[in-house]
Copies of this chain bind each other. A is one copy, B any other.
């Protein structure tokens, strides 16, 4: 029998600065009745992603509506169809979508779902390297940075879900790749497993000037392509080291997301003019139409072991706030995912 209730996580108040664990609350709610075109999914894995912090600011104009305090939180999830009123899906199908997270069961529109194959990769990979972060990485690299063989790529947040794929796709294109991350373990993984030429532990540098020196040494011919996940002193150091006609893909600025007051930007933006730099901000939904092209490149690489990925796994829905907060504390290596239910029941 299909369940009539689900546990779900709510935000109790909108955070200022870094959210605290007690701003989240687990409640039991009734599931709505299934309407035509909808699917009831049992959630197996849910995603926590930095962009969700932006949805916790009801005052900010963004590309996606803010969360409310009246509805459960929401986000990407992989699950199993329990009941379907959509003609493309039937009970037992494995599916991934941008909605359904932060709950054990969810009613979601079928049009936003994609069927996934547990035989190609573990189901959780559809929230990471084969999912939205993977498409984000691939799109920023191929559609904005447009790398050429022999060029130098710098990636901030390089050990994260997006950054680690950007690094590896850059290496596969014959680039020199420099990545930054926040622990010796992450840097070791980047250099030994992901094949990054130089991994910089940014916690060893106490100013943009110090990071600039390290980056300049790691990128002696200058940085042609910068994939930005962090902001702050990373952006300043990158702007100091960019080569003429360099390109910057602005994917995120995680260092900025939990500031209660915004910090000033870097003082060297004028380098954008003098060096004819391009910066393009983007969100993954701009490139959704390229998902098939992305999957055609990355799925075989994954199957051949040419692309590696890591996950930080949190067990149980109640751990979701901790997984989310770990994103901003630098606690997760690779993709942070929450196991909400077993693969099969």
Contact = CB atoms under 8 A, between A and B. Distances in A.
Interface string A176-189: 00000000000000
A38 to B, nearest CB: 29
B244 A273 contact: no
A284 to B, nearest CB: 11
A316 interface: no
A301 interface: no
Contacts of A281: 271-278
A263 B267 CA distance: 5
A275 B281 CA distance: 7
Nearest to A253: B270
A250 B286 CA distance: 23
A273 B253 contact: yes
B268 A266 contact: no
B63 A269 contact: no
A231 to B, nearest CB: 7
Identical copies of this chain, number:
2
A60 interface: yes
Interface in A35-57: 54
A257 to B, nearest CB: 8
Interface in A66-105: none
A282 interface: yes
A283 B251 CA distance: 26
A265 B267 contact: yes
Nearest to A286: B276
Interface of A: 54, 60-63, 231, 235, 244, 250-253, 256, 262-283, 286
Chain A to chain B: the 10 pairs with minimum beta-carbon distance, closest first: A265-B265, A264-B264, A272-B281, A262-B267, A273-B281, A279-B279, A62-B274, A265-B269, A277-B281, A253-B270
